[in-house]
């Protein structure tokens, strides 16, 4: 897919796709993923010219035995490009996320600014998450980083909310919404942010 102007995409599933982002273009992808798939989805982002930018924001709500295998590869073959990749997962039952994030910056990719993160909230002992961040950096004038966290519902906070008369399921829903709020705030498109928020409300 060729991106020649500022483009925002809202996705509810991921398929292997190559995105070629032209000079000065901004590609924003907001993904709300609730139905799993079998084969790994490879998303290649080629920031081919100066001042091209990618913002990837995925929220995964996994239930049952749904599996979400995906890989993002951010290619920065030229100067002055930006790529930011945020994935946030909430996993119930026996759901599973397998995420590999790659930042590829050759010597020609000076003044690249890129970052990737994957944060997971586990709501079942049978759920599973795998996160593999990969940074291939040959340029010496770049800003690049990654982060990953895996946690469970804070039982003390859950108990505190219940002690204030809030039912357990409602308290858990509040904690899930709080966990997701940071990534919701990253969605600049108000219509998409509202759509994602409403779908989350219905699902959790």
Inform me whether the pLDDT recorded for 164 exceeds 80.
Answer: no
Tell me the percentage of the chain whose pLDDT exceeds 70. 90
Interior angle at CA 93, CA 183 and CA 91, nearest 5: 15
- The confidence score (pLDDT) of residue 111 equals 96
pTM for the complete prediction? 0.90
Could you report the per-residue pLDDT of 1-51, keeping only the tens digit for each? 999 999 999 999 999 999 999 999 999 999 999 999 999 999 999 999 999
Confidence of residue 163 (pLDDT cuts 50, 70, 90): low
Sheet of 82-91: strand order equals 7-11, 26-33, 53-62, 82-91, 113-122, 143-152
Window from 11-20, 21-30, 83-92, 195-204 with minimum mean pLDDT:
195-204
- The confidence score (pLDDT) of residue 151 equals 74
């Amino acid at each position: 897919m060729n991106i020649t102007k500022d483009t925002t995409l809202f996705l509810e599933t991921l398929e292997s796709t190559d995105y070629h982002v032209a000079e000065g273009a901004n590609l924003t992808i907001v993904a709300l993923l609730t139905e799993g798939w079998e084969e790994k989805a490879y998303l290649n982002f080629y920031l081919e010219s100066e001042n091209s930018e990618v913002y990837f924001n995925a929220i995964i709500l996994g239930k049952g035995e749904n599996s979400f295998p995906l890989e993002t590869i951010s290619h920065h073959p030229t100067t002055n490009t930006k790529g930011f990749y945020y994935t946030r997962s909430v996993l119930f039952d026996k759901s599973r996320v397998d995420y590999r994030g790659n930042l590829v910056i050759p010597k020609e990719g000076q003044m690249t600014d890129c970052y990737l993160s994957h944060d997971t909230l586990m709501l079942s002992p049978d759920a599973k998450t795998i996160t593999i961040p990969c940074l291939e950096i040959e340029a010496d004038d770049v800003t690049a980083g990654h982060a990953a966290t895996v946690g469970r519902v804070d039982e003390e906070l859950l108990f505190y909310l219940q002690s204030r008369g809030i039912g357990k399921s409602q308290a858990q829903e509040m904690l899930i919404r709080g966990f997701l709020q940071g990534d919701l705030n990253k969605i600049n498109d108000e219509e998409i942010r509202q759509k994602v928020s409403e779908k989350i409300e219905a699902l959790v």
